[in-house]
Amino acid sequence: MVIILSNIYVSHPLLKENTVLRRAYQENIFINCLNKNCLVVIPTGLGKTIVALMLAMHRLSEIPNSKIVFLAPTKPLVEQHFNSFLELTNIDSEMMQSITGSTPPDKRKMLWNDIKVAFMTPQVLQNDLISNLYSIQDVVLIIFDECHRAIGDYAYCYIAQKYMELSESPQILGLTASPGSTELKINEIKTNLFIDHIEIRTDSDRDVKPYIHKVDKEWIKISLPPEYLEIKKLVIDKLKTVYKFLKKSDLLNSSDVNKVSRKDLLKIDKLINKRISSARDDDVKYEMFMAKKYNANAIRLSHIDELIETQGVNALKAYMDKNIAKIKSRTANKSLIELFSDYDFKRVIELVDLVQEKGLVHPKLKKLKEILHDQIIENQESRILVFCHYRDSVKNIVHYLKSDPEIKTHKFVGQRSSNTDKGLTQKQQIKLLQDFKEGTYNTLIGTSVAEEGLDIAECDMVVFYDVVPSAVRSIQRRGRTGRKKEGKVIILMAKGTRDEGYYWAEKRKEESMNRNLKKLKDSDSLPKEQASLTQYINTPDISNSENKINLKDRFQEKNDKVIIICDNRETKSPVVRKLSLMDVEIKLEQLPVADYIISETSGIERKAAQDFTDSIKDGRLFKELFELKKLFKKPILILEGDLFTSTIHQSALYGAISSIILNLGINVYRTADTNETSLFIYHLAKKAQVTSKGDFKIRFEKKPFEDSELLEFIIAGIPGINALRAKKLLMEFKSLHKIFNAEIDELLKTEKIGKKIAEEIFRISRYEYDKEF
């Protein structure tokens, strides 16, 4: 049974009567997406959910005992689509479920058996597919909302591949308003989602124009005060010095600050790492390590310049304080310490403190307050979204606006929390959006988490507190208004700053995207003779069977699969996904020790290069490996990536690796990247399980510590102390009491203990606990 369109409403047994209004462009898109993996590019606010709804009802009617999965990147967006289907369809509410990370795996498995339509975040479905929690064999359509995310290692890519492999009748629908500014990116999305047809609609299309609401755009330029310009000048002068060194080292083509972007500096870091790895001469290595420090500070200085230009002194002060706290807690690296010890940079810190004491906020704040106040006075029912790139700025803006009783404001940010800034859970985000709609708040100050897909009909104004150089993000921001009525977009821009540069960059990228979309539209256009809906009533389901067969041939079916138990936190890395695409049965668990377990005797700890060096610095490496050694007879450490590009000296790295092999007896293997890591783990597991049958059981009961081991464990908890140094200290002093009462010169007599470590032991042993219960 197919969708039938009456004169006014879409009619279908699974749809409630007189709820879904007929729009010609939605009809055309629906018809052209039948039996195809389709990418739909459509402006925000034009009912892409309705297209998804029509196709979903068609597939459920066409194929008995089938399921639909609707994916969206965030829980608020999942809930939004779920509520739309509840409102518009006749499907029993118990057969439609919103399934997110807060739903336990056992309950997800139980719910899956009875549902017809599942609304999910991709991370949840990915984890369930990896652990084979349930089958997606009977899923006949997966809808990927905000499908411009289907690039790189994002979960959409893995899900699409597994779906095309496992489903008996697969069909994919990708939805987005902004697929990307380059043809390369658009083609990457097409490839990753197995797209064979594209439907594109723009604001200028004849069938779309009647439904477009007018959105006025206004750019407001703001001048920086002299105090801000003074700070900026000092930062730029310092940046010029750094760029000159990098140019002299043949790493930059120009030392002109206007010609070097943040992207250039990030590319330089990779180039420096490559040169360090290939260098055989010590002088060359020394120069590159110096360049690495300079480049790290160039990135910091560039960020400081951006904060003072576009965010203001409060955001900059928060950034400075975070770094000063790192230095005081001895967690800062050498480049950061050197920058903050620099004479000229100390002057920058002093000026920031002085300007903040004066209460001299960024002029954008004053202008924003004025705009919001006037808008709300003019229209008490107004709803306003303000977008800001940085969390610290969001906090500052909310605090500043609280002095105006007309502006009822709240932050809208992600879940990540810090000591100074608490995030919002997805449940809190959903509640906040409802409060916004109902008028409890008339203004939300949001980061990128508020950019995608949220359908807030009441929103009649969007303000860009800062400019983003991304066409995708800019389109997403603008799309939050003008959805059901006329709207307004205001962009605040600091004169003569990167705000202006970002504006032109975004404009060029959006123009490029429109050109590429037109090109794609011309090459992959609608059929010359538009098919009628009735043609599809008796059309047999072809469901892309050829693609499915070709994909099936790429995967071998085996009865005896390799089993690997993975720590569920490892799903953030591509390794687990790559293993899942091999002939492997993955079991996800929260492991107290190890990242991967391949047999009862073998556990694997995986350390990417940065994590390895960080874990040496903060002292957790040997604690983790000590536990690994205690629980497994054959412990393995995989070191992934280039280790010798960090600021830690080579001899220290070799010393740590030698200690792991010789003192802990752990096997160490280096891999180039996640591809090599996943292949190595697969072959290790295959070899380990070749003689064993069935499941293996892992017991995590901890062996009791011997007293001597306990002493080693306690001493190894001091920063800078590894297992070898802990043993040397205990052999020298015999007891904790004597170690902690020793003077610095006494500690220095111990082999492998230098002045810095001796001072740290002395400091820690006399430090008074200051936490409140």
Tens digit of each residue's pLDDT (9 = 90 or more) over 252-289:
888 888 888 888 888 888 888 888 877 788 888 888 88
Query: 405 exposed, middle or buried (CB, 10 Å; 0-12, 13-18, 19+)?
Result: exposed
CB 685 within 8 A of CB 696: no
Tokens linked to 200 = 């594109």
What pLDDT was estimated at residue 56?
Answer: 92
Contacts of 229 (CB under 8 A, 6+ apart): none
At 711-727, the pLDDT tens digits run 887 888 787 787 788 88
Q: How far apart are CA 658 and CA 616, in angstroms?
A: 13
By DSSP bridging, strand 139-145 and strand 117-120 are unpaired
CA distance to 63, 189, 555, per residue, from 551 (Å): 22, 18, 7
- Specify the amino acid at residue 520: L
Q: How far apart are CA 619 and CA 717, in angstroms?
A: 6
Helices (H), 379-497: 391-401, 426-438, 471-478
Tokens linked to 496 = 């003569």
CB 316 within 8 A of CB 304: yes
At 534-576, the pLDDT tens digits run 333 333 332 333 333 232 333 233 446 889 999 988 888 899 9
Query: 612 exposed, middle or buried (CB, 10 Å; 0-12, 13-18, 19+)?
Result: buried
> Is a pLDDT exceeding 80 seen at residue 526?
no
What pLDDT was estimated at residue 538?
Answer: 35
Provide mean pLDDT across the span 430-456: 82
Q: How far is CA 27 from the centre of its chain?
A: 35
Q: How far apart are CA 265 and CA 271, in angstroms?
A: 10
What pLDDT was estimated at residue 194?
Answer: 95
Check the CA dihedral 292-298-304-310 and report its sign.
Answer: negative
Q: How far apart are CA 588 and CA 194, in angstroms?
A: 27
669 by DSSP, 3-state: which?
A: strand
Q: How far apart are CA 8 and CA 766, in angstroms?
A: 80
Q: How far apart are CA 518 and CA 119, in angstroms?
A: 32
CA distance to 282, 283, 458, 670, per residue, from 484 (Å): 66, 65, 8, 56
At 656-679, the pLDDT tens digits run 898 899 888 899 999 989 999 999
Q: How far apart are CA 441 and CA 339, in angstroms?
A: 42
What pLDDT was estimated at residue 700?
Answer: 54
> Is a pLDDT exceeding 80 seen at residue 638?
yes
Q: Mean pLDDT in the chain?
A: 83
CA distance to 207, 402, 436, per residue, from 465 (Å): 34, 17, 19
Check the CA dihedral 718-720-726-728 and report its sign.
Answer: negative
What pLDDT was estimated at residue 238?
Answer: 94
Nearest 5°: phi and psi at 249?
-85, 10
More confident residue, 278 or 241: 241
By DSSP bridging, strand 603-608 and strand 596-597 are antiparallel
- Please tell me the least confidently modeled range out of 137-151, 154-168, 731-745: 731-745
CB 170 within 8 A of CB 544: yes
What global pTM score does this model have? 0.72
What pLDDT was estimated at residue 501?
Answer: 84
- Structural element, H or E, at residue 173: strand 172-176
Q: Strand runs (DSSP E) across 609-729, as ranges?
A: 636-640, 667-671
Q: How far apart are CA 450 and CA 476, in angstroms?
A: 9
More confident residue, 328 or 618: 328
> Is a pLDDT exceeding 90 seen at residue 614?
no
Q: How far apart are CA 200 and CA 386, in angstroms?
A: 29
Q: How far is CA 299 from the centre of its chain?
A: 20
DSSP string spanning 563-609?
Answer: EEEEEGGGGGSHHHHHHHTSSEEEEEE--SS-SEE-SSS-EEEEEEH
CB 588 within 8 A of CB 128: no
Length of the chain equals: 773
145 by DSSP, 3-state: which?
A: strand
Of 516, 513, 524, 517, nearest in space to 196 by CA? 524
Q: Which one-letter DSSP state was computed for residue 559?
A: S
What pLDDT was estimated at residue 402?
Answer: 92
DSSP string spanning 353-387?
Answer: HHHHHHT---HHHHHHHHHHHHHHHH-TT-EEEEE
Q: How far apart are CA 376 and CA 390, in angstroms?
A: 25
What pLDDT was estimated at residue 143?
Answer: 97
Provide mean pLDDT across the span 400-421: 86
**Helix 48-62 to helix 24-33 angle, to the nearest 10 degrees?**
40
What pLDDT was estimated at residue 454?
Answer: 64
Provide mean pLDDT across the span 150-172: 94
494 by DSSP, 3-state: which?
A: strand
- Specify the amino acid at residue 695: D
Angle at the Cα of 194 from the Cα atoms of 191 and 197, rounded to 5 degrees: 100
Contacts of 737 (CB under 8 A, 6+ apart): none
At 167-212, the pLDDT tens digits run 999 999 999 988 887 888 889 999 999 999 998 887 777 777 766 6
Contacts of 532 (CB under 8 A, 6+ apart): none
Contacts of 593 (CB under 8 A, 6+ apart): 603, 624, 627, 628, 631, 700
What pLDDT was estimated at residue 242?
Answer: 93
At 378-397, the pLDDT tens digits run 999 898 999 888 888 888 89
